[in-house]
């Protein structure tokens, strides 16, 4: 069921409602497994765990209209669980893709046989937003890495459409938008893990 901000109710027309339905309708797509496309040079025998932090969601399950700079009403969906959202299943797919990348590159060992000290990587999806116009995904994410007594944290703000042309944005569907957001986040996260692992190796020499 669609909920529209009350202040815009007098301004609605049948065409706006039709546009809102088309943009937010019944189409849904889960995030596909992601592939990391950059060569990883750092390799190690360090054991690690990669976890999704639970219950760090913000927002309400609804669609509202927001007025942009040009005075155009733009529908925005909010909430952790709508199908169009970067939801819990998508987040789990991201974690699985990250684990596969770290193992396939031989950067870390994730096999359940943890040698002490081992690296703990935890990903927090603090908030996620979906803009139906162009299916733009905005993710606020935190990564915490613990190794022994050391703790480092990284903050990311991912905008899936960043760098897209207007034509590319107009031709982006739900699956494409999620994939763009996931690939951008994966790129930042892997590069930062690579830095941490490299520093650990240097300190051990």
- Among the residue ranges 6-15, 35-44, 119-128, 178-187, the one predicted with the least confidence is 6-15
Classified as helix, coil or strand, 129 is strand
pLDDT in tens, 44-71: 999 999 999 865 544 344 555 556 666 6
Instruction: Decide if 16 contacts 4 (C-beta within 8 A).
Output: no
| pLDDT at position 5 over 60 | no
User: How far is it, in rounded angstroms, from Cα 6 to Cα 29?
Assistant: 30
Q: If phi over 0 gives left and psi between -120 and 50 gives alpha, with beta otherwise, what is residue 59?
A: left
Residue 6: the pLDDT is 39
pLDDT in tens, 26-50: 356 899 999 999 999 999 999 999 9
| pLDDT at position 122 over 50 | yes
Residue 7: the pLDDT is 43
Confidence grade of residue 114 (pLDDT, cut at 50, 70, 90):
confident
Instruction: Decide if 184 contacts 94 (C-beta within 8 A).
Output: no
pLDDT in tens, 90-111: 999 999 999 999 999 999 999 8
Phi, psi of 145 (to 5 degrees): -120, 125
pLDDT averaged over every residue in the chain: 81
Q: Are strands 48-52 and 119-131 parallel, antiparallel or unpaired?
A: parallel
């Amino acid at each position: 069921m669609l909920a529209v901000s009350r202040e815009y109710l007098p301004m609605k027309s049948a065409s706006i409602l039709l546009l809102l339905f088309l943009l937010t309708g019944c189409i849904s797509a889960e995030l596909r497994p992601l592939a990391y496309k950059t060569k990883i040079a750092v390799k190690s025998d360090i054991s690690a765990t990669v976890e999704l932090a639970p219950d760090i969601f913000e927002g309400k399950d609804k669609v509202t209209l927001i007025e942009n700079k040009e005075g155009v009403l733009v529908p925005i969906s909010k909430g952790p669980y709508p199908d169009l959202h970067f939801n819990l299943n998508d987040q789990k797919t991201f974690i699985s893709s990250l684990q596969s990348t770290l193992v396939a590159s031989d950067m870390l060992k994730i096999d359940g046989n943890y040698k002490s000290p081992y690296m703990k990587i935890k990903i927090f999806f603090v908030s996620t937003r979906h803009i139906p116009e162009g299916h733009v995904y905005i993710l606020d994410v935190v990564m915490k890495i613990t190794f022994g007594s050391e703790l480092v944290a990284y903050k990311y703000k991912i905008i899936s459409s960043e760098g897209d042309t207007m034509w590319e944005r107009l031709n982006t569907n739900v699956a494409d938008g999620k994939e763009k957001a996931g690939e951008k986040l994966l790129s930042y996260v892997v590069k930062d893990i690579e830095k941490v692992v490299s520093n650990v190796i240097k300190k051990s020499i």
